[in-house]
Amino acid sequence: MMDVGIPEGMNVSSTSEGLKIERKWFSGVTIFLTVFAVLWNGFLFNWYNHAHNFELFPEKNMLVVLVPLLFVAVGVVLTYYVIASYFNKTIITVNHRTLESKISPFPFGFKKSIPSRSIEQVYCKEITRGINNDIRVLFEVRVILKNRSNITLFSGLESSEQALFLEHEIESYLGIKDVSVKGELS
């Protein structure tokens, strides 16, 4: 594998714990989602604020009250994700004992910890998501363990450079020879 420079939004440092790679979540998508969340929540606030004037809440029809709460739930989750996108970073720590991935400061997902000795190969995969003409390409970094199980270490990367960089740094630190994996990003 060729040497890849440090991509935008990432930071690498050597610490007493080992190699530490940080990736900030903030991207152009965060701006779009911020605007969308403000519009979504603004509409809901306005709707609930004026709904009593339209007599939309008949006493006997609780379904009319409960169904819009699904939209409120979407607004709450969307707002949490947007706030997390401004502040969060994923931190990968690699040492000869473990490979660890965690998200901080806002909890989002689960911390992953993999014994370094169980790692056979690290590779990247291109993931295509979308419907019709709205196709989005994202990248994942995956780990193949010696027992042949396959674990997604990092997903949702917007550039192949970030994925390839993570693969290269982890393999270099752990002394893993880069071997071709079927379906990997080249």
Does the residue 183 lie in any domain?
no
Q: Note whether 129 and 160 are same-domain residues.
A: yes
Q: Note whether 17 and 93 are same-domain residues.
A: yes
Q: Note whether 55 and 134 are same-domain residues.
A: no
Does the residue 5 lie in any domain?
no
For the chain, what is the mean pLDDT? Answer: 87
Q: Note whether 162 and 92 are same-domain residues.
A: yes
pLDDT at 1: 46
Mean pLDDT within 148-170: 90
99-117 per-position pLDDT tens digit: 999 999 998 888 899 999 9
Q: Note whether 92 and 117 are same-domain residues.
A: yes
Mean pLDDT within 24-36: 92
Residues 153, 114: Cα–Cα separation, whole Å = 9
35-56 per-position pLDDT tens digit: 999 999 999 888 777 766 656 5
Q: Would you report the helix, strand and coil content of the chain in percent, each value rounded to 5?
A: 40, 35, 30
Q: Note whether 65 and 95 are same-domain residues.
A: no
Element (DSSP H or E) covering residue 76: helix 63-87
Does the residue 181 lie in any domain?
no
> What's the pLDDT band for 131 if we cut at 50, 70, 90?
confident
Does the residue 185 lie in any domain?
no
pLDDT at 146: 94
Residue 145 belongs to domain spanning: 10-25+88-174
